[in-house]
Homo-oligomer: A and B are copies of this chain.
């Protein structure tokens, strides 16, 4: 069995087995996605339609079997009833496909019978020397070649632009919602993978693949249980040395574990063992679902903190206090501002400003006051800078603030996070900043959790490198 998953992600040609023009079918959504017919982008390779009914669809011939296609096929995307899948997969083997994605449900997730059917599929794949993703999955959305098997209707399922974040999801539905959310928030993905039952290609294989995939900088993952714990931890540890793996683990309570069993049927496993192993492997385990997204943004846009002392610069005392509380609760230190820096700050800050940390440059601060203050703060060599701006203030020029923060961000190797509480206008500024790799959050607590995880990963990485 080959371990190369490239043909699954970068096929030159795809056959959609179960493809159709019939409205409302998965087969239609798959074909129309790949052809770029309904708002999406056209897949960069060839697409063939296979359906037992034959005829034509979208003005193209419909082959009754993959074996009837007079061209090479790299990847088969299979969306036919479960019972038919073994036959179809055998034909795929005969056609010498290099991989398959089995969308069809009705396998291991339904019980013992279904698991046996997966064994049959595995034997076929082994015999013909290819691997497959799924079954019971949404498949792949690869922004690099527009390969898109996420079959939800385009009027209710948005898909993000290209980026450097990979997202792996054991749950297809939650994964699709995450895709949709990333699109709304303008956060780009390299690839999204819904791997379903992981009967053949499992989460460890995917982590290993993404570890060497050059477009992916950060790997994020929703997981309920892993197939092979030992394999997972050892591969994850290797990959964590190269790029961060951020995981939300569902089934962390006994009630949640029971719900996992009735959902994917996977065993959540011994949680304490899992948590310990995860920590050793350098995996960032987030505690709240939305932190997957918040961290993906922060990790992909920022350098790693070199120490765990933070400086806060704010134009609002209250927001400074809330952020200080959040840092203290997460065990992150506030850096003491040196006497020299305090003196420099006093030179241009109003008398009632605070030159201690949090540095409060007051509500009447123009953008230039932020810039001067941050330049002094950077010289203090903090592990990270948190810049809070209440943009409702009349004093601050938004465009100047965006320009200054973006320039600072690209000229320093200290992570710079902005917190911009507010509404419509604050969000516009946030979007502009994020396009320039300044991660921005609505609220202090989320920003601080992201920072906590950044510090944690950075520490692990330094520890690994010094203990080599």
Please state if B263 and A171 are interface contacts (CB–CB under 8 Å).
no
In whole angstroms, how far apart are the Cα atoms of A327 and B253 in the complex?
Answer: 9
Name the residue among A174, A177, A264, A398 with the largest chain B CB count within 10 angstroms.
A177
With a cutoff of 8 Å between Cβ atoms, the chain B residues found around residue A320 in the complex are 259, 263
Look across to chain B and name the residue whose beta carbon is closest to the beta carbon of A358.
B259
Shortest CB–CB separation between residue A193 and chain B, in angstroms?
A: 14
Query: Quick one: given A180-B424, A392-B157, are A262 and B356 in contact (CB under 8 Å)?
Result: yes
Against B, the Cβ 8 Å flags (1 = close, 0 = not) of A216-254 are: 000000101000000000000000000000001011111
With a cutoff of 8 Å between Cβ atoms, the chain B residues found around residue A259 in the complex are 317, 320-321, 324-325, 358
With a cutoff of 8 Å between Cβ atoms, the chain B residues found around residue A72 in the complex are none
Look across to chain B and name the residue whose beta carbon is closest to the beta carbon of A329.
B253
Stretch at the interface among A118-126, A197-205, A440-448: A440-448
Q: Give the interface size class of chain A.
A: 35 or more
Query: Quick one: given A180-B425, A421-B177, are A171 and B317 in contact (CB under 8 Å)?
Result: yes
Q: Which of B177, B264, B318, B443 touches A288 (beta carbons < 8 Å)?
A: B443
Please state if B324 and A425 are interface contacts (CB–CB under 8 Å).
no
Q: Is A437 an interface residue (CB 8 A)?
A: no
Shortest CB–CB separation between residue A324 and chain B, in angstroms?
A: 4
Please state if B318 and A250 are interface contacts (CB–CB under 8 Å).
yes
Please state if B425 and A156 are interface contacts (CB–CB under 8 Å).
yes
Please state if B392 and A152 are interface contacts (CB–CB under 8 Å).
yes
Query: Quick one: given A170-B318, A318-B224, A443-B289, are A423 and B262 in contact (CB under 8 Å)?
Result: no
Please state if B24 and A394 are interface contacts (CB–CB under 8 Å).
yes
Q: Is A302 an interface residue (CB 8 A)?
A: no
With a cutoff of 8 Å between Cβ atoms, the chain B residues found around residue A394 in the complex are 24, 29, 151-153, 156
With a cutoff of 8 Å between Cβ atoms, the chain B residues found around residue A184 in the complex are 422-424, 427
Against B, the Cβ 8 Å flags (1 = close, 0 = not) of A410-429 are: 00000000000111111100
Q: Is A145 an interface residue (CB 8 A)?
A: no
Q: Is A393 an interface residue (CB 8 A)?
A: yes
With a cutoff of 8 Å between Cβ atoms, the chain B residues found around residue A329 in the complex are 252-253
Please state if A354 and B177 are interface contacts (CB–CB under 8 Å).
no
Look across to chain B and name the residue whose beta carbon is closest to the beta carbon of A334.
B255
Please state if B321 and A260 are interface contacts (CB–CB under 8 Å).
yes
In whole angstroms, how far apart are the Cα atoms of A425 and B153 in the complex?
Answer: 11
Against B, the Cβ 8 Å flags (1 = close, 0 = not) of A386-410 are: 0000111110001000000000000
Please state if B390 and A109 are interface contacts (CB–CB under 8 Å).
no
With a cutoff of 8 Å between Cβ atoms, the chain B residues found around residue A442 in the complex are 181, 290
In whole angstroms, how far apart are the Cα atoms of A260 and B321 in the complex?
Answer: 6
Shortest CB–CB separation between residue A205 and chain B, in angstroms?
A: 21
With a cutoff of 8 Å between Cβ atoms, the chain B residues found around residue A263 in the complex are 317-318, 320-321, 354, 360
Please state if A421 and B109 are interface contacts (CB–CB under 8 Å).
no
Q: Which of B250, B252, B325 touches A250 (beta carbons < 8 Å)?
A: B325
In whole angstroms, how far apart are the Cα atoms of A169 and B315 in the complex?
Answer: 16
Against B, the Cβ 8 Å flags (1 = close, 0 = not) of A164-207 are: 00000111111011111111110000000000000000000000
With a cutoff of 8 Å between Cβ atoms, the chain B residues found around residue A256 in the complex are 321-322, 324-325, 328
* A-B contacts besides A156-B394, A170-B318, 19 pairs, CB < 8 Å: A153-B394, A157-B392, A158-B425, A171-B319, A172-B363, A173-B317, A173-B318, A173-B392, A174-B316, A176-B392, A179-B423, A184-B424, A222-B318, A250-B318, A251-B325, A254-B328, A256-B322, A258-B324, A263-B321
**Closest 9 A-B residue pairs measured CB to CB?**
A171-B318, A263-B317, A180-B423, A253-B328, A173-B316, A184-B423, A256-B325, A177-B421, A174-B318
List 27 A-B pairs, Cβ < 8 Å. A29-B394, A110-B352, A152-B392, A152-B394, A156-B394, A156-B398, A157-B425, A170-B318, A177-B422, A180-B392, A180-B421, A184-B422, A184-B424, A184-B427, A224-B318, A224-B321, A253-B325, A255-B324, A255-B327, A255-B334, A256-B321, A256-B324, A258-B324, A263-B318, A263-B320, A289-B322, A290-B443
